[in-house]
Amino acid sequence: MISTIEGMAGVGKTRLAVHAGYLLHQRQPFERVFFVDLRGFDPDPAQPPADPAAVLDGFLRLLGMPGHQIPHDLDARRRLADLLAATHLCVDAFTPDEARAFLAGAVPGIPVGSDPRATARIARRCRYLPLALGLVAGHIRGTPGWTLTDHADRLDERHHDRRLDTGVELAPALSHQRLPADRRRLLRLLALHPGQDFDAYAAAAMADADLDTTRAGLVLLRDDHLLQEATPGRFTFHDLTRAYAAIRAADEEPPPARRAALTRLFDHYLATAAAAMHTLHPAESLLRPQILPPGTPAPGLTGPDSAREWLDTARPTLVAVAVHAATRGRPAHTTLLSRILQRYLAAGGHNTDAVTVHDHGYRAARQNGDPVGQAHALIDIGFTYGRLGRYGSAAESMQRAVDLFRHTGRGRARDDFGDVGEPPGRNETAVDRSARALTRSRQVDDRVGEAYALEGLGLVHLELGWHESAADHLRRALTPSTPISAGPRPTTSGRTSPLWTPPCPTRER
């Protein structure tokens, strides 16, 4: 029987192997036992780690294997996946319950203190990693007079200061040091990613590298258990590894290099989101900001299915990017991302995400001195509030948007925006407002504003049940600057007056 154990650094592979070997030896003594302490996480710098290649070479020679049959490349022995009749066990970190049970057994008799959840907080700060929990438990036993709440507070403070305990840092530190320089840099930069997971395209953007090289690097980091493959093609960190790599990035990557990596990443997400929306809704491309393609690899979203799948998969990351960019000195990215994602978030019913993205888009535009961006974001916030039934907040947002658009003289200043702030059915003045917005847009030759005004007429008619005229308005919204009747005009009594056409001044072309 051949058994192999694999897992990230500090997950408890050595302790498990030694404990299992001891139990098996008690049951039936072995003929020969080989054991060596690799000193992988010895805190004494005078005790460097043993060379695994040399140790394995010695074991194989003791077992009688000829030297010329022993591979000299350590990478050729990394996973031992080709061993016949081998049992492979991949060890992961503790679950939260297992971590709390471990601490309860490791530090008996320590008072909890004022916070009954102190043990859970300590386990969470250790990222449920056995090595980290064992080292922290040793520290707890060595500090009499402290409660578990005191220790949880200390770990929270160190986390806030982006520091790890020296012992806890050993596991990822040694794994990081053994990597080639290019792989260390990739790991450091990936730790800056604001989302929970990422694919090779995002990684290539951060590293400013070609796609094949980046994919190979991600697979090797996965094989080194420094990354985890959450789903095929998408990678994530263990929290402890991310924390360590982020510290290394802050210490070893100059601020301009970190900013450049994030800028490339945000450019990638902005351009890919715009490409996906253009694939899904090509007729609305003129209504969205025009985004230049990034200088890094991008997925080919040539069909609606692939575009929708990418948006659905990346949605949590896009929200995180919008928040991160707004608060880290890149407000323009957030404002543009808010406008690009508006249709997708609304159509998909992702109202909570929409509020987050558009609210940060508004704040970013205000920070950037962009009144038009503020107005667009307020409109999208208003529509979202309307879908959520928060009509008062919707009306307030819409009115602020209208005021901003009037002040700037720019489009999308539809007078019917205020109707989103009313419960369904209160549309007596909506046609008038949309017609006035249509007239103003044509007066200033604003095709975008004209398209929005036509859309407003179509949506109001749709709600009133006038399906034929609604379809006509919405169809013409795709090709604005075409004269059109506003359709039946509702009255307060619910009856309609004859067809009428808003005035449209003659323009020289």
498 pLDDT higher than 50: no
Query: For residue 205, which of 127, 272, 123, 151 has the smallest C-alpha distance?
Result: 272
Calculate Rg over the CA atoms of the chain: 31
Mean pLDDT of 183-202: 93
Give pLDDT tens digits for 199-214: 999 999 999 999 999 9
> Three-state SS across 17-35?
HHHHHHHHHHHCCCCCCCC
pLDDT of residue 128: 86
Mean pLDDT of 459-473: 77
pLDDT of residue 140: 87
Higher pLDDT, 289 or 189: 189
Give pLDDT tens digits for 120-140: 999 988 888 887 888 788 788
Amino acid at 466: W
Mean pLDDT of 52-65: 80
482 pLDDT higher than 80: no
Using CA atoms, how far apart are residues 419 and 427, in angstroms rounded to an integer? 7
Dihedrals phi, psi of 56, to nearest 5 degrees? -65, -40
pLDDT-based confidence at residue 421 (cuts at 50, 70, 90): very low
pLDDT of residue 264: 94
Query: For residue 284, which of 330, 227, 194, 346 has the smallest C-alpha distance?
Result: 346
The answer to whether 96 and 129 are in contact (CB under 8 A) is no
The answer to whether 119 and 112 are in contact (CB under 8 A) is yes
pLDDT of residue 74: 61
250 pLDDT higher than 60: yes
Residue whose pair of structure tokens reads 């690899």 in the numeric block = 297
The answer to whether 198 and 230 are in contact (CB under 8 A) is no
393 pLDDT higher than 80: yes
Using CA atoms, how far apart are residues 120 and 222, in angstroms rounded to an integer? 28
pLDDT of residue 410: 56
pLDDT of residue 58: 80
321 pLDDT higher than 90: yes
Angle of CA points 290, 295, 297, to nearest 5°:
105
- With 0-12 / 13-18 / 19 or more C-beta atoms within 10 angstroms meaning exposed / middle / buried, residue 199 is buried
Q: Which pTM was predicted?
A: 0.63
- Residue 255: partners with Cβ closer than 8 Å, 6 or more residues away: none
pLDDT of residue 186: 95
Give pLDDT tens digits for 423-465: 444 445 566 666 777 776 776 666 766 777 777 777 777 767 7
Using CA atoms, how far apart are residues 402 and 33, in angstroms rounded to an integer? 80
pLDDT-based confidence at residue 75 (cuts at 50, 70, 90): low
Residue whose pair of structure tokens reads 């008690």 in the numeric block = 26
16 pLDDT higher than 80: yes
Amino acid at 245: A
Mean pLDDT of 59-69: 79
151 pLDDT higher than 70: yes
pLDDT-based confidence at residue 76 (cuts at 50, 70, 90): low
Q: Residues of the chain with pLDDT > 90: what percent?
A: 28
485 pLDDT higher than 50: no
pLDDT of residue 333: 92
Angle of CA points 324, 329, 332, to nearest 5°:
85
pLDDT-based confidence at residue 187 (cuts at 50, 70, 90): very high
Query: For residue 459, which of 476, 474, 449 has the smallest C-alpha distance?
Result: 474
Q: Residues of the chain with pLDDT > 70: what percent?
A: 77
Mean pLDDT of the chain: 79
Dihedrals phi, psi of 254, to nearest 5 degrees? -60, 150
pLDDT of residue 508: 31
pLDDT of residue 415: 43
Amino acid at 115: D
Using CA atoms, how far apart are residues 215 and 213, in angstroms rounded to an integer? 6
Higher pLDDT, 458 or 275: 275
Using CA atoms, how far apart are residues 201 and 301, in angstroms rounded to an integer? 13
pLDDT of residue 178: 74
Mean pLDDT of 146-164: 79
pLDDT of residue 73: 63
Mean pLDDT of 84-99: 83
Chain-centroid distance of CA 205 in Å reads 15
241-255, 262-276, 409-423, 469-483: range with lowest mean pLDDT: 409-423
pLDDT of residue 507: 30
pLDDT-based confidence at residue 171 (cuts at 50, 70, 90): low
266 pLDDT higher than 80: yes
Q: What's the length of the chain? A: 509
98 pLDDT higher than 50: yes
> Three-state SS across 355-366?
HHHHHHHHHHHH
Give pLDDT tens digits for 41-54: 554 555 566 777 77
Query: For residue 132, which of 106, 110, 160 has the smallest C-alpha distance?
Result: 106
